[in-house]
Amino acid sequence: MDIAALNSTEFLRKNVLKWVSLCFGCLALVFAGFNLTVNNLSVLGYFEVVFSLYCFCIYFRLGKHPVQVWQSVVMCAFISFIVVFGAYIAAPSNGVFVWAFVLPTLYYLLLGKNYGFIFSIVLLSLQSIVLINKSSLAPFTSLNLCLNILFAYIVIWAISHTFESSRSQFSKRLKKLAMLDPLTGAGNRLAMNHYFSVELRERAQLYLFLVDLDFFKQINDKYGHDVGDKVLIEVATLLKVTFAKGYVFRIGGEEFALISSFNSEHAALAVAEKVRAALENKYINVDNYKINLTASIGVANYKPQQSLNELLKAADKQLYKAKDLGRNSVYYPAVKSDKTALI
């Protein structure tokens, strides 16, 4: 699974908005010509021309740029205005009000559950006011028309709301499952890539700690892999508590990556030492065994335009230096003073 798959909702809404824009752009031009030349509804026709231009602009823009919330909001508001205004100025026999049945589904697809609900109830209210205040609903029977519109709209609204609620819940659950290490509950490598590439907008003063448990293979050999797995679970829990303001990822068998921003190099190294000391002082009770372990930590500071792989390689380089110098230590190159920080 790649990062794009984690943003399925965004890609869904972009595709829906793009092709709805093309469809509505073409249809609006057709209806504009019809209303300007046949129905004598010139004001509505001009609105439809403007709406068509907006739709085509969004269609071409989405070919090169990511979708933005305001684009969907304006799309929904604009088409809603045209439907309500058209129902207000045109005779019921023109059938403009029929388009209201399409809109709840569009709202939920483009805006999600919360905004979809708000737009749907506002449209129902405005459309009801317009139809109730019509002097005549001919050739329809007033009561029959109102009841059919109301019930049909509510059914479509309910289906749209239920579908979007279920889709949103399953999307969140799948995203969570995809980004968690199944053993420890820490983030996995995919989660780290997602955090670095998508969620992390400001990377100034970002530090990555690469934590490797010393001689962990000996624990597996001595106590068995079941015990080793339980030790990893305890270690992950300890890292989450000790590194509460950052992100914890398991990226290898006994290797963890910790990412956070710090105000200074000194603050970053202090937290790295805190993590190292917490592991050293922790005695893990598993299956009547009392296990103590240590860790070597390599620290790397993010450089402008640096990729995640480059940052990981820098931290890995410092990690191996910490191991070469005796393990159970924190290693970081103090570039400013051309010295090495070994804690």
Per-residue tokens: 163 = 């579908």
Quote the CA–CA distance of 158 and 206 in Å, as a whole number: 46
Containing H/E element for 258?
strand 255-261
Quote the CA–CA distance of 266 and 334 in Å, as a whole number: 10
Quote the CA–CA distance of 46 and 64 in Å, as a whole number: 28
In this structure, the strands spanning 289-292 and 283-286 are antiparallel
Closest alpha carbon to 67 in 119, 16, 103, 4? 16
Quote the CA–CA distance of 137 and 141 in Å, as a whole number: 7
**What single letter denotes the amino acid at residue 284?**
I
Alpha-carbon Rg for the chain, nearest whole angstrom, is 30
Query: Distance from CA of residue 205 to its chain's centroid?
Result: 24
Give the count of alpha carbons within 13 A of 167, CB side only. 15
**What single letter denotes the amino acid at residue 313?**
K
Catalytic residues: 254
**Long-range contact pairs involving 53-61 (C-beta distance under 8 Å, separation at least 24):** 53/25, 54/78, 55/21, 55/22, 55/24, 55/25, 55/28, 56/21, 56/22, 56/25, 58/17, 58/18, 58/21, 59/18, 59/21, 59/22, 59/25
Closest alpha carbon to 257 in 308, 190, 208, 311? 208
| Environment class of 273 (CB within 10 Å of its CB; exposed 0-12, middle 13-18, buried 19+) | middle
